[in-house]
Structure 1
Amino acid sequence: MIPSLRPGDKIAIIATARKIDREAIAPAVEVLQRWGLEVEVGPSVGAAHGMFAGDDALRLQDLQQALDRPDIKAVICARGGYGTTRILDQVDFSRFQEQPKWVVGFSDITSLLCHIHSLGLESIHGIMPMLFPSGTEEAIGSLRSILFGEDVTYEVAPHAFNRTGTGTGQLIGGNLALLHNVSGTRSDFSTRGKILFLEDVDEYLYNIDRMMVHLSRAGKLDDLAGLLVGHFSDMKDNADPFGKNVYEIIAEHTAKYTYPVCYGFPTGHEPDNLALVCGREATLQVGAAESSLKYSKSIT
């Protein structure tokens, strides 16, 4: 189990994907320092190489050092965008496996979280420093609670598309486009008996359908313990409308199954992006009045 943070611990903020100015993460650094943490900002933050936070070599070195250094107790990715998969196969996870630590991010960072899950370790899908200024208190607070080993339970309002029921299994998922992207790679993972969560941003509806078809054809939807459908933000359509919205697309591709499905779960590219522990066993209860997600074991 990954050690919880304690006041005085040192954490690293690095950028594995798109470039970001150091000024953009200043509000997050202040919040993390108020939590009692010592924050070290890696050289990838503020670097630029085209659209990336420095070239592949710099971003790889920054991630590798943050994972390897025993004095760094958690690694938080500054932002998403694109670029993590370019360096992922060059990372040596051997020291990280010997002394695991929290790795935090979402969006493009989904690929890194999936790879960590394939190693049998946990990680955190949650708000990143660039988004602290726009994030809700609940989103930021949930990240703090998990980092510091506090138990959390999430309750969600009912949704017309929900399928009621109860399921228990490891929680895993993230950005739909990245889950599609890692399929068939060494970062891929089995979804059998797990609670899968999905979110995405700025995609065409037909492409959402295409990726759901791929998940279905690959067997990723067959034997789930449950499904969480998060934020699908800024969706786009063609001049000839696709004919279904996102929730209708997902409902169509999961209609033949019986596991519980919770729509409108607050995860993804919106201010209310609750932190989720990838790889930890949880219980999803979807009822007529409300839904809840609770971890089956203590975080500590």
Structure 2
Amino acid sequence: MLAIAFLFGVAMSEADSPIAIEIRGGKDYASFTNRLHPGNRIGYRFHEHAPMIWGEIPEIRANAGVEPKKIAKSEKAFARKRGVKSFSIDIAGSEWVKQRWTYYLAPVSDGAELLWVVETFDTGLNRYYGVQQCFRMGGVTNQQWRRAIAETPAFSEYDLWNLVEKDKAVKTSLTHIMRNGRWMPLPAMPETVGARTPLGLAMDKERTGGHLDAMKEVGPYRAIMLEPIDNGLIARTDAGDTWVCGLYWEGTSHVTDHHPADCVHAIVNIGGIPPHAKRAIRGKIYWFKGSPGDLAAHWRRDFHERMRTPSATRITSQP
């Protein structure tokens, strides 16, 4: 069961950002457009499928690292951002612990800054509570109902494979992740593939007792797990490498792609929350004219405190 309450708040004019955000009324989707990249509309789905759950539920806020004053300060700061839109989703059902998600989406020059506040009620969330977030880039050859949310021919692998490369045995990947300090493409294949971040690697080792071979597939779409990656930033470029978009959430444990929806996913750990408590998670959608190397520079600027391994501090484009 999913109840959505919209709390739209436009604090100031969005004129300084090329990004426009539309929250789909009565649904759990958003669409993004960029006036500098006309003819493209990226989609986003906030709530889908079932969570991945592991570990104990913390009972004491201090032990869980939950800081109410800091979270309240973050919410107030986001609520004042120029052009911000916010809404809340009440989550319940047989597969979900009752909880409330409040999202803040603020358009900026290179995309949209995100804040996701998770609030628990009588029951807290397990130490690992992995939730999938869906970043959609369907093209003109995708199904009509999907195109209403996302029609992004510039970034669509679906269009590239069905039109330009229709007769080619080997397809081109437009999806990229960071591995060992370098941008690497995810394989261009119809099957769902993905990879573990350092957090995901640690959690899956714990969940399998150290036997990762017993967990070759992860997530709602049973993504085939490839070699681990440096962090949770997942990117899509156009075929000419002149435009780039990407998704990043703090606490990402796995990233995956999926066809035919033509989307990429971040599986985000929102867990480790005691009953009657909140956790705030920062994220960002990127969309601007530039290269994967430029995206890495923007990400370093925005989330520099999250780069804790040597490989994540030296990000370069693949030659």
TM-score (norm 2): 0.24
In terms of fraction of residues, the more helix-rich structure is 1
TM-score (norm 1): 0.25
In terms of fraction of residues, the more strand-rich structure is 2
